[in-house]
């Protein structure tokens, strides 16, 4: 007999239910899009497994009309989903990245990291680090045994960007702090999933959503540090000293949304960096009357199109 609603043991609203028999039911992020040519944008995509032991893969995107040898900026992208849901093949993310590639004329490497609870954190961070290091290996003088042609043929390694939304933006921050073996030209963080023990801003009065985010984090991370884990709080004890900079990265773009419970964390991150030793360029853009990752859920809205355009412009500045 299959699992029934009465057998739910853990409810991580609104993303995941875990039944008493161990079955995991994901309630969102399950609609997938095939790789291949997108006729609306003229963008071509393909999936490549890069770590056979873990199954970590990358969905690559490139303009279909790009000529071999034409060097384009590379965006290494990390999807959101609270570390619980979605993949690189998720339809909404696939749609978003097709639009970005079309407008910015770039290559995108979207990393398909492993999800909790099957793979508790820091698995997602470790997988993403492995992916970036694998990409960096393509820039060495010695050839790889199994190099990826789309990297070798199209990527300009002098223009590499990290980017992600929500949990993916948190991963991007983590990788900047680790200083990957790539020259990172810039980073775009969309509605970063930062958190902490002490409420700030709207968290002080929005007890319902505050508790909901607490529940998500406590479920995916087995650390005894809770909301003060450096993986989720960039200013917690033991976190890298980001105020001294991010290696080669000299510009950051942070998007926040006015109605997002995570908005104040993004603003706080921005303000801390403004007054620190790091003198890179940093900009924050707020989308009025919008909520968390609205551009994923409503990709044809005016504000979503504005976000994509700003993102593309940042890459091509």
CA 84/CA 162 separation, integer angstroms: 21
- In angstroms, the Cα distances linking 307 to 19, 69, 187, 210 are 38, 30, 15, 26
Could you list the beta-strand ranges (E) of 34-183: 36-38, 43-51, 56-63, 72-78, 107-112, 155-165
From the DSSP assignment, how many helices (H) and strands (E) are in the chain?
A: 8, 12
The first and second tokens of residue 91, run together, are 């339809």
For tokens 């948190």, the residue is: 170
DSSP state for residue 90 in the 8-state scheme: B
pTM for the model stands at 0.96
DSSP string, 227-263: GG-TTT-TTSTTS--GGG-BTTB-EEEEEEETT-TTH
Q: Return the H-helix or E-strand segment holding 43.
A: strand 43-51
DSSP state for residue 225 in the 8-state scheme: T
Span 270-298, pLDDT tens digits = 999 998 888 899 999 999 999 999 999 99
Structural domains in the chain, sorted by start: 1-30 (no CATH), 33-316 (3.40.50.1820)
Span 119-164, pLDDT tens digits = 999 999 999 999 999 999 999 865 566 789 999 999 999 999 999 9
CA 175/CA 164 separation, integer angstroms: 11
Tens digits of pLDDT across the chain (317 residues)? 454 556 999 999 999 999 999 999 999 999 999 999 999 999 999 999 999 999 999 999 999 999 988 999 999 999 999 999 999 999 999 999 999 999 999 999 999 999 999 999 999 999 999 999 999 999 986 556 678 999 999 999 999 999 999 999 999 999 999 988 889 999 999 999 999 999 999 999 999 999 999 999 999 998 889 999 999 999 999 999 887 778 889 999 999 999 999 999 999 999 999 988 888 999 999 999 999 999 999 999 999 999 999 999 999 99
DSSP state for residue 300 in the 8-state scheme: T
Nearest-5° angle of CA 302, CA 307, CA 313? 125
For the annotated catalytic residues, the residue numbers are 166, 260, 292
Q: What are the helix (H) ranges across 106-254?
A: 123-137, 149-154, 167-178, 207-220
């Amino acid at each position: 007999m299959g699992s029934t609603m009465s057998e739910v043991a853990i409810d991580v609203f609104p993303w995941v239910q875990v039944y008493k028999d161990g079955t995991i039911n994901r309630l969102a992020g399950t609609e997938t899009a095939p790789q291949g040519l997108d006729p609306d944008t003229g963008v071509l995509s393909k999936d490549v497994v890069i770590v056979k032991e873990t199954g970590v893969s990358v969905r690559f995107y490139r303009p279909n009309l790009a000529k071999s040898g034409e060097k384009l900026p590379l965006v290494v992208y990390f999807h959101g989903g609270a570390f619980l849901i979605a993949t690189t093949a998720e339809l909404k993310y696939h749609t978003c990245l097709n639009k970005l590639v079309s407008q910015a004329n770039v290559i995108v490497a979207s990393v398909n990291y492993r999800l909790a609870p099957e793979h508790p954190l820091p698995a997602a961070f470790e997988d993403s680090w492995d992916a970036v290091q694998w990409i960096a290996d393509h820039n060495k003088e010695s050839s790889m045994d199994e190099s990826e042609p789309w990297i070798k043929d199209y990527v300009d390694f002098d223009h590499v960007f990290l980017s992600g939304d929500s949990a993916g933006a948190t991963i991007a921050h983590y990788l900047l702090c680790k200083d990957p073996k790539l020259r990172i030209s810039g980073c775009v963080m969309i509605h970063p999933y930062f958190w902490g023990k002490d409420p700030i801003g709207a968290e002080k009065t929005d007890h319902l959503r505050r508790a909901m985010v607490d529940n998500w984090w406590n479920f995916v991370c087995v650390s005894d540090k809770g909301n003060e884990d450096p993986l989720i709080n960039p200013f917690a004890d033991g976190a890298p000293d980001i105020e001294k900079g991010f290696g080669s990265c000299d510009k950051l773009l942070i998007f926040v949304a006015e109605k997002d419970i995570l908005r104040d964390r993004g603003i706080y991150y921005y303000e801390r960096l403004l007054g620190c030793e790091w003198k890179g360029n940093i900009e924050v853009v707020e989308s009025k009357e919008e909520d968390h990752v609205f551009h994923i859920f409503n990709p044809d809205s005016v504000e979503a199109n504005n976000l994509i355009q700003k993102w593309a412009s940042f890459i091509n500045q």
